[in-house]
Structure 1
Amino acid sequence: MAPIRPRLVLALAALMVGTLMAAPTRADAPPPADHAITVTPGRPGPAIAPTMYGVFFEDINNAADGGLYAELVQNRSFEFGPADNRTYTPLTAWQQTATGGATGTLQVVDDAERLNTRNRNHLRLALAGTGSGAARFGIVNSGYGAGMALREGARHDFSVWARTDAAAGTPLTVELRTADGTAVSAPLGITVRGDRWTKYTGTLTSRLTTTSGRLAVTAAGSGTLRLDMVSLFPRDTYKGRPNGLREDLAEKIAALKPGFLRFPGGCLVNTGSHQAYEAPNWERRRSYQWKDTIGPVEQRAVNANFWGYHQSYGLGYYEYFQFAEDIGAMPLPVVPALVTGCGENKVTDDPALLERHIQDTLDLIEFANGPVTSEWGRKRAAMGHPKPFGLTHLGVGNEENLPDAFFTRFTAFREAIAARYPDITVIGNSGPDDSGSVFDRAWQLSRQAGVAMVDEHYYNSPQWFLENNHRYDAYDRHGPKVFLGEYASRDNRFHNALSEAAFMTGLERNADVVRLASYAPLLADVDHTQWRPDMIWFDNHRSWGSTSYEVQKLFMNNTGDRVVPSRATTTPAVSGPITGAVGLSTWATSAAYDDVEVTAADGTALLKDDFSAGDTRWTRTAGRGDWAVRDGAFVQADTAAEDTLVTAGDTGWHDYDLRLKATKKSGREGFLIAFGVRDTGNHYWWNLGGWNNTRSAVEEAVDGGKETLTENGTTIETGRTYDIHVRVRGRQVTLYLDGREWGRFTDDKAAEPFRQVVTRDKGDLVVKVVNAQATPARTRIDLGTAKVAPTARLTTLTGAPDAVNTADDQPVRPRASTLRGVAKEFTYTFPAHSVTFMRIRAG
């Protein structure tokens, strides 16, 4: 995409009124670009639902265990194993410890003496009774990450389930330690008595502050001691709730003032087996099923996490509902539809299993809303919440790539829910992308069936968000409403946040169509991250908001209740041809390329390579793939390597034809044919046989973030040679496969850096302006009303486009100020790279 050039118009300095609190401009800075905003307050705009913006929680990036869930002990019930992560064992995070010459053995067992059938493993200690009077043998837990974060004077609630065959009982000593073994709390003494499982509790107070704390549990004497559910919680959980949430993370979420809380996923919802956790099926890769996650924590099933670690389910459906209530958010759970997504793409054809999941969903609604006299309402009351949670919305399915199979099952859920709970809004979805064949078919089925709301998901480049502000302008005002359940620009720099802010002005302008929206993912452990970008980052003792968090908070705290119609001048983009070199790549696939030719539009040869002279004309990216000339072709042989791009040619090339032959040798996918390559993060590529060889598409990469421009369901056969032709003319591209036109597109959308929306919040007009360009935006503002207060409250986010908020430095933070000289018409200069909210009292 060509760079953006500011529009040049006559200066509007003569229209300036009063003293404006604009940021000063450096003498060597470029002159301001001139804009105008015209507000029409007398014409009603769409109402904005109080639930417009919310948060989406998924247990990704250690967001639950080791994150929002305040439990400090990792692997508290000794259930970790290779099913969760190939590096895990039942003693992950545990170490043996001994003092005073004590000896013994440790063994994690699953036998008839287990705590219960859903918590199968426990730790058996064979105590030898050796050593001095102070001899102790036992275990130490290292917590998550660097250790347990302990604060001087802070109290911690300890609990353990234990039993012993020692007739006189087994004395336990529990204490907090540093990493080197130094005790940092007074010892807690507990005597385990009897060979029946019993819960023991106590309190530990740290004597110092450390981020590498440990929990030690040691025993004296001899005999067999069994331990399970070894737990340590800070007393200061969010709102003081037992089995509660980490206070600083919960407070940052609450500070957003979210209108809804979507949970528990995400890919967690619909991946893995849909079978129940019951004998003889002790499956550890099941879809997320809500009944596994309620009741006493020691009786909850565990599960392997889709994102490569373990789920204890200590943070379960009851805790999600409770948290939503605590922060004033509408609960919005999502249940599996028996069609897997997120790359699995499998359909479960089992009518009895489908019926069981539908009944589970009906039971979920009863759990949330039923009276205490109902079966599941009684279970909710037994957990401590007699009052119903007030569930009104429920999602079925998540990012299914098989729209027809999904919709058949979705319809069965929807009809059953409507028959029993007609007031519940049942939400469908449109797959994992913003466009394409899956998206179109899913929306077609939803429109035809009169579905109330469709959940859209997309993660794209900043360029895409700047280009697509008007995405929802053309949506059917009488069709299904949109729940934008997951979206983000692919990075965490301020430039990404600015592009998201620009896009959000379009969401608000279309509040009659886009009824719910949530950035995703919400949380990320800085040391254990499966996905980026993320909104809130944390380690074991600190948390901080990304630049996108600051944007989301600004919009969510100043939404308003109605859109006020307004319009603004635009900045036209420079139009020019697609330029760049060519490239070859693979993704988890071995492929051979040959007879590569690039010719200019006039027939001039730019590149011709049959690899008979080697591969010297191609530039590799270090560490990506195993490229070599083999049997007269250029071959990438590593089937595990991803994004193996090699390039040739000139970045100034334009209006050319790229032809080549490609053969898949082995692996999961097909070919990646690149053109318009400016560097490894900025290019187009034709992804043939992508997404585990389920479909094909052209993607544009801008600074590493990708968006889909056109696609279809083409798959690639192993061993077959394909003739590939890419024709680039101006900004139009036509693609041919084996001599037939495969598809075409024109990449000519303007990336508008100046966006605005105006809303009414009770008696205030809130003028929200995003200036994502490097030039200040001198703007004439016409409020369209004679009665306005002479001052306005400003909240501004500014920063360098590459700025990133970190634990030690948050350069992008809101700045409050007062703007004087406000009138019906006035001029204000919005800083370069800024988001500004101007709150004006208007009559």
Structure 2
Amino acid sequence: MELGEKLIDVGGQMYEDISQHSGDGGLYAELLQNRAFQLVEPGTEDSLLAWDTIGSANISVVADDVPVSSALPNSMELVVLNDAFGAVGFANEGYWGIKVDEAATYNVSFYYRFPEASDFGGDVKIGLQSSSGDLLASTTVEISGAQTEWAQITTELTPSASASDVNNLFTVTLDGAAAAGLTIHFAMFSLFPPTFKERANGMRIDIAQALVDMGPAFFRLPGGNNLVSFCLTGLGLYEYLLWCEDGGMEPIMGVFAGYALQQETVAEDDLEPYIQEAIDQIHFAVSDADTSDAAALRASLGHPEPFAIRYIEIGNEDWISDVASETRQRLLITPDETVFIATSDVSGPVLDPIPTSYDVHDYQDPAWFQEQVFYYDDFERNGTTYFEGEYSCKYDRAGESWLYPSVLSAVAEAAFMTGLERNSDIVFAAAYAPVLNHVNATDWTPNLIAFDAGNVYLSTSYYVQQLFAFNSGDEYLPSTLPTFNGTLFWSVARNDSAVIIKVANMDAEDANMTFELPFNGVAESGTVTYITGNEADMNTPENPDLITPQTTTVQSSSSFGYTALGMSFAVLVVGIDSQ
């Protein structure tokens, strides 16, 4: 890479629901689990996940004769016993708890109808209560037995006190004596706390803020596996794109290419509807509402202007040629400025037309990242660019998956990232993956950010990503190259007022370095922000702040020494005169 090349957008995010509840129960702020009874078998115990009865009543999920919508064929049937008394109804436990904050107002909605008309008229009490039964918030709404068609109820809950933990319930109850013998159907519940930037149907504030605080340049949506397997989530394409705007991130948008990771492929003769759906998706996002029906739909939702999207990714890990190639050719009828990213192997098969960009995925161990710091150095400079779209040091030295990112895994990733920066002329973006994981629903480890119903836990890898994102510089500066397969790695960049040096030391011992800066007006001291620790140290829910960035100073000049601590990643920022 030559002096003055623009640096890679190394601090981006790749979203997917690989561990489940990264969206529902995670980034998406909705608090009720199984709120619409989707993808469940009516009448089974599993269909009532997260729900339980209150008082003298029975609940079950039924295939409704008159569903609330064609997309939501199931509803909850409440049968109040003939001899009922006291409060009767049901409760939802949320996603392993519900955080209740007295400073927040919670928006509530649901649909109801009576399968058979009755003369009932009375109040439904909606509340938030602790697991011990303490009432934290409540309100009442009136319902009528004459309502045999679906009607929506909307209201608000304002807690009188904050809960001491997340072991709380959302409750809906009636007076048992007044409702004895009645059957009522309920559907499409919602309990929404305040959201990031007050966006309707938006994002959970603490998770969204953690993602934004990382300084991401882009957000890959709707993610990897979300394209090729059904992920139950309230987030749709429109919400993802609004989130990118709210977070100041450039979208990298994926479209389904007819291939799933279970080795299932849509036959070429059957691809037409999938190709058209992909084209419509792109037009929804980027086209003029006056010339495209799909874009007109976007405008009707409240966003008349097109979203700013340069990159469209075709499929996810589509390690085949025919489907991905056919889809890509058809997509070339979309706007000319669109850059398409292929998800087939870089090494082949050869696609026609030849992709301008490839997405590369690497989940490996520390030794691999150490060896592959120079991975892109020998790639041909022929106009093809690369998106390191998914990577993490997934395994420890023994080949076992880390439960959470460790100091060693984060430093290994940092070493690899110095190589990505050095090859910014062909590697245009990179993203750690996966980003989010609910600690009560873990299918894949490690993840960048862990969370539960009440807290967010930032990892060692998060801090490495953050340090790269906020210290990218404007230009890459050539330097003496690290030793191939060594343990000490670095990259050097600059902006108008400073030289930025990133150093990853994968050895347990300190390493002495000397930097010579050919610039005028080098400051007498600089800042060093770093993480370090024992290689197996990690931030966990039990000890969330074991490893956090520390800041110190370093004496600097046109030639100065620096000691890279053992098992550490550091960013040195040294002021220079504007050049």
TM-score strictly above 0.5: yes
| Structure 1 residues 51-79: Cα deviation after superposition (integer angstroms, max 9, x where no partner) | 44310000122211111111111110122
- Name the structure 2 match of 1:75: 34
How far apart, in 2, do the equivalents of 1:208 and 1:515 lie? 46
Amino acid at match of 1:181: G
How far apart, in 2, do the equivalents of 1:246 and 1:237 lie? 5
How far apart, in 1, do the equivalents of 2:41 and 2:359 lie? 34
1:804 alignment partner, SS class: coil
- Name the structure 1 match of 2:246: 326
How far apart, in 1, do the equivalents of 2:31 and 2:258 lie? 34
Query: Which one of 358, 362, 370 corresponds to residue 275 of structure 2?
Result: 358
Query: Which one of 81, 90, 94 corresponds to residue 143 of structure 1?
Result: 94
How far apart, in 2, do the equivalents of 1:82 and 1:518 lie? 37
Structure 2 residue 240 is matched with structure 1 residue 269: no
Structure 2 residue 91 is matched with structure 1 residue 171: no
Amino acid at match of 2:187: D
- Name the structure 2 match of 1:740: none
Is residue 516–residue 558 contact of structure 2 (8 Å, CA) maintained in 1?
yes
The Cα of 1:562 is off from its aligned counterpart by 1.6
1:828 alignment partner, SS class: strand
- Name the structure 1 match of 2:399: none
2:523 alignment partner, SS class: strand
Q: In the superposition, relative to structure 1, how do residues 760 and 408 fare at CA in structure 2: closer, same or farther (>3 Å)?
A: same
Query: Which one of 783, 788, 809 corresponds to residue 544 of structure 2?
Result: 809
Amino acid at match of 1:91: L
- Name the structure 1 match of 2:397: none
Amino acid at match of 1:92: L
Q: In the superposition, relative to structure 1, how do residues 495 and 420 fare at CA in structure 2: closer, same or farther (>3 Å)?
A: closer
- Name the structure 1 match of 2:464: 551
| Structure 1 residues 675-729: Cα deviation after superposition (integer angstroms, max 9, x where no partner) | xxxxxxxxxxxxxxxxxxxxxxxxxxxxxxxxxxxxxxxxxxxxxxxxxxxxxxx
Please say which of residues 260-269 and 407-416 is displaced more in the overlay: 407-416
Amino acid at match of 1:188: T
The Cα of 1:513 is off from its aligned counterpart by 1.1
How far apart, in 1, do the equivalents of 2:81 and 2:569 lie? 67
Structure 2 residue 343 is matched with structure 1 residue 420: no
Amino acid at match of 2:392: A
How far apart, in 1, do the equivalents of 2:281 and 2:265 lie? 23
- Name the structure 2 match of 1:123: 76
- Name the structure 2 match of 1:390: 308
The Cα of 1:415 is off from its aligned counterpart by 2.3
How far apart, in 2, do the equivalents of 1:78 and 1:180 lie? 27
Please say which of residues 244-253 and 476-485 is displaced more in the overlay: 476-485
The Cα of 1:88 is off from its aligned counterpart by 6.6
1:149 alignment partner, SS class: coil
The Cα of 1:187 is off from its aligned counterpart by 3.4
| Structure 1 residues 810-833: Cα deviation after superposition (integer angstroms, max 9, x where no partner) | 22211122323x211111212111
Is residue 121–residue 142 contact of structure 2 (8 Å, CA) maintained in 1?
no
The Cα of 1:350 is off from its aligned counterpart by 4.8
1:516 alignment partner, SS class: strand
Query: Which one of 507, 512, 522 corresponds to residue 435 of structure 2?
Result: 522
Which runs of structure 2 are paired with 1:22-33 in the superposition (5 Å)? none
Runs of 5+ consecutive residues of structure 2 not aligned to the other structure: 395-401
Query: Which one of 520, 533, 541 corresponds to residue 799 of structure 1?
Result: 533
- Name the structure 1 match of 2:553: 818
Is residue 169–residue 194 contact of structure 1 (8 Å, CA) maintained in 2?
no
- Name the structure 2 match of 1:10: none
Amino acid at match of 2:93: S
The Cα of 1:787 is off from its aligned counterpart by 2.8
Q: In the superposition, relative to structure 1, how do residues 420 and 143 fare at CA in structure 2: closer, same or farther (>3 Å)?
A: closer
Amino acid at match of 1:117: S
Q: In the superposition, relative to structure 1, how do residues 422 and 409 fare at CA in structure 2: closer, same or farther (>3 Å)?
A: farther
- Name the structure 2 match of 1:716: none
How far apart, in 2, do the equivalents of 1:88 and 1:69 lie? 26
Is residue 337–residue 409 contact of structure 1 (8 Å, CA) maintained in 2?
yes
1:812 alignment partner, SS class: coil
How far apart, in 2, do the equivalents of 1:569 and 1:149 lie? 48
Which runs of structure 2 are paired with 1:207-218 in the superposition (5 Å)? 207-209=161-163, 210-218=165-173
The Cα of 1:569 is off from its aligned counterpart by 5.5
Q: In the superposition, relative to structure 1, how do residues 104 and 774 fare at CA in structure 2: closer, same or farther (>3 Å)?
A: closer
- Name the structure 2 match of 1:296: none
| Structure 1 residues 97-156: Cα deviation after superposition (integer angstroms, max 9, x where no partner) | 12xxxx443232113211011111001223356445xx33211111112x2121234321
How far apart, in 2, do the equivalents of 1:569 and 1:240 lie? 47
Identity, in percent, stands at 32
Larger Rg: 1
Amino acid at match of 1:47: K
Query: Which one of 475, 479, 485 corresponds to residue 389 of structure 2?
Result: 485
Amino acid at match of 1:260: F
Is residue 81–residue 88 contact of structure 1 (8 Å, CA) maintained in 2?
no
User: What TM-score do the two structures reach when normalised by structure 1?
Assistant: 0.63
- Name the structure 1 match of 2:295: 377
- Name the structure 2 match of 1:829: 563
Is residue 318–residue 324 contact of structure 2 (8 Å, CA) maintained in 1?
no
How far apart, in 2, do the equivalents of 1:150 and 1:429 lie? 43
How far apart, in 2, do the equivalents of 1:92 and 1:44 lie? 58
Is residue 773–residue 832 contact of structure 1 (8 Å, CA) maintained in 2?
yes
Query: Which one of 253, 257, 261 corresponds to residue 211 of structure 2?
Result: 253
Is residue 123–residue 228 contact of structure 1 (8 Å, CA) maintained in 2?
yes
Please say which of residues 785-794 and 320-329 is displaced more in the overlay: 785-794
Q: CA RMSD in A?
A: 2.2
- Name the structure 2 match of 1:188: 140
How far apart, in 1, do the equivalents of 2:551 and 2:205 lie? 26
- Name the structure 2 match of 1:203: 156
Structure 2 residue 367 is matched with structure 1 residue 463: yes
Which runs of structure 2 are paired with 1:265-664 in the superposition (5 Å)? 265-270=223-228, 287=229, 303=230, 305=231, 311=232, 313-341=233-261, 344-351=262-269, 353-373=270-290, 374-401=292-319, 403=320, 407-431=321-345, 440-442=347-349, 445-446=350-351, 449-490=353-394, 491=402, 492-568=405-481, 570=483
User: What TM-score do the two structures reach when normalised by structure 2?
Assistant: 0.91
1:326 alignment partner, SS class: helix
- Name the structure 1 match of 2:112: 162
The Cα of 1:387 is off from its aligned counterpart by 2.1
Is residue 525–residue 574 contact of structure 2 (8 Å, CA) maintained in 1?
yes
The Cα of 1:541 is off from its aligned counterpart by 0.4
Aligned length: 556
Q: In the superposition, relative to structure 1, how do residues 568 and 837 fare at CA in structure 2: closer, same or farther (>3 Å)?
A: same
Amino acid at match of 1:441: G
